[in-house]
Amino acid sequence: MEYHGLLTRYGALLDLPEHTQTVSLHEGNTPLIPVPRLAEEMGGGFELFVKYEGLNPTGSFKDRGMTAAIGEAAGRKAQAVICASTGNTAASAAAYAARAGLRAIVLIPQGKVAAGKLAGAVAYGAQVVQIDGSFDDALTLVVKITEKHPIALVNSINPYRLEGQKTGAFEICDTLGKAPDWLCLPVGNAGNISAYWLGFRQYNEEKSTGLPKLLGVQAAGAAPLVLGHPIDKPSTVATAIRIGRPARGEQALTAAEESGGRIIAATDDEILAMQRRLAGEGIWVEPASAAGLAGLEKEINAGTLDPTGKQIVAVCTGHGLKDPDIITANMPKPELVPTSLEALEEVILAQ
Ligand SMILES: *Cc1c(COP(=O)(O)O)cnc(C)c1O
């Protein structure tokens, strides 16, 4: 059957208002890629899969929630949508607003937005406003402005975002035939882990697919849910999870606990090392997306998670192309050789 996007495939399972329109770029339906070599390097004896969300239309999982949130906003004749964003929400909101013919305004924190994300928001025609503050400050502002003006808020405090993002859990169960034993994923504003838990619970009630344990992973410099208090100046190279006051923090902690899992932190070095190893498997993700697997390896090494005989899925949330600078900043300049066979032989055979 031809694929027409998430609302067509899973709309009946999502709690969306009657007036919701289908605004789709054929998001979702992302591959669940087995990574046996990586599993072997982590000690082996289990099955490991990457849910590669970087293959969504704007390069991140945000499109799952945006098809629902923008579809709802368009259906009630909103004229404009707004969001605060570390980048991927902005690009996604801009694309789906463009698709629906709505105006999009995105607020980004000063400085720390990866090049590919900002370029996306601009390319799709959003009005990009940078504020002299953090993501958390930007979110506070968009909440205030949407209380005052008829502009639809499409951050993940919008419940329809989470409805759309439940489809990640549905797809994993549909592919594996059941829920995995563990699901590991990065945690920033904590909407995605909350949505996955809603999705797995719903599928289990309707189709007895079982429930995974959730391993949420924050960056060590932006780990309010691990430390138990907000962080005023979160800091990490994983800009997508550089968030000090997660809007869905309580819900995420409850989800992790109910599942029998937990939320932990991984350092920037661990995250970047895992980004390189994934790229070594042919899967290039942006730094935040490697956090789930970095956390998994940590738990396995510490002996606090026994993977033996288990099926484990890591959600890799965004494409590596979103943040090219993290790679090119430390890249040695490509070697320049004369255009001759001898010179070429010399440089490649010398290795
Ligand atoms: C948004 C985002 C996250 C964090 O998701 P939350 O729902 O905010 O926890 C992680 N990785 C990437 C690539 C993202 O865009």
* Among protein residues, the one whose CA lies closest to atom 2 of ligand 1: 240
pLDDT at 113: 80
Q: What is the Å distance from ligand 1's center to 279 Cα?
A: 19
Segment 240-265 mean pLDDT: 97
Average pLDDT of the chain?
A: 96
* Among protein residues, the one whose CA lies closest to atom 1 of ligand 1: 240
pLDDT at 115: 83
Q: What is the Å distance from ligand 1's center to 172 Cα?
A: 18
Whether residue 351 is predicted with pLDDT greater than 80 in this model: the reply is no
pLDDT at 224: 98
Q: Could you say which of 3.30.9.10, 3.40.50.1100, 3.40.50.720, 3.40.50.300 is the CATH number of the domain covering 6-59+161-322?
A: 3.40.50.1100
Nearest alpha-carbon partner for 82 in 141, 23, 17, 24: 141
Whether residue 207 is predicted with pLDDT greater than 80 in this model: the reply is yes
Q: What is the Å distance from ligand 1's center to 218 Cα?
A: 10
Segment 138-154 mean pLDDT: 95
CA dist., res. 191 & res. 252, Å (int): 8
CA dist., res. 6 & res. 171, Å (int): 10
Counting ligand 1 atoms within 8 A of each CB, the residue from 27, 88, 166, 225 with the most, and so the one to mutate, is 88
Has domain 62-157 been given CATH number 3.40.50.1100? yes
Q: Is 96 left (phi over 0), alpha (psi -120 to 50) or beta?
A: alpha
**Which pLDDT band, with edges at 50, 70 and 90, does 194 fall under?**
very high
Q: What's the distance, Cα to Cα, between the start and end of the chain in Å? A: 49
Q: What is the Å distance from ligand 1's center to 339 Cα?
A: 45
pLDDT at 1: 62
- Model confidence pLDDT, tens digit, residues 53-68: 999 999 999 999 999 9
Segment 205-234 mean pLDDT: 97
Segment 259-274 mean pLDDT: 98
pLDDT at 109: 85
Return the ligand 1 atom nearest residue 322 CA. 13
**Cβ count within 10 A of residue 346:** 12
- Model confidence pLDDT, tens digit, residues 298-344: 999 999 999 999 999 999 999 999 999 999 988 888 889 999 999 99
Whether residue 134 is predicted with pLDDT greater than 90 in this model: the reply is no
**Which pLDDT band, with edges at 50, 70 and 90, does 80 fall under?**
very high
Whether residue 241 is predicted with pLDDT greater than 90 in this model: the reply is yes
Q: What is the Å distance from ligand 1's center to 186 Cα?
A: 7
Confirm or reject: Cβ of 263 under 6 Å from ligand 1.
Answer: no
**Which phi and psi angles does 152 have, rounded to 5°?**
-85, 130
pLDDT at 86: 85
Whether residue 175 is predicted with pLDDT greater than 90 in this model: the reply is yes
Query: Most distant CA pair in the chain: distance in Å?
Result: 70
Return the ligand 1 atom nearest residue 216 CA. 9
- Model confidence pLDDT, tens digit, residues 89-128: 999 999 999 999 999 999 998 877 888 888 999 999 999 9
3-state secondary structure 174-211: HHHCCCCCEEEEECCCCHHHHHHHHHHHHHHHHHCCCC
Confirm or reject: Cβ of 60 under 6 Å from ligand 1.
Answer: yes
Nearest alpha-carbon partner for 26 in 57, 53, 60, 65: 57
Q: What is the Å distance from ligand 1's center to 343 Cα?
A: 46
Segment 154-164 mean pLDDT: 96
Whether residue 289 is predicted with pLDDT greater than 80 in this model: the reply is yes
Packing angle of the helix pair 268-279, 291-302 (nearest 10 deg): 110
Q: What is the Å distance from ligand 1's center to 246 Cα?
A: 11
Name the DSSP letter for residue 20. Answer: -
Domain ranges of the chain: 6-59+161-322, 62-157
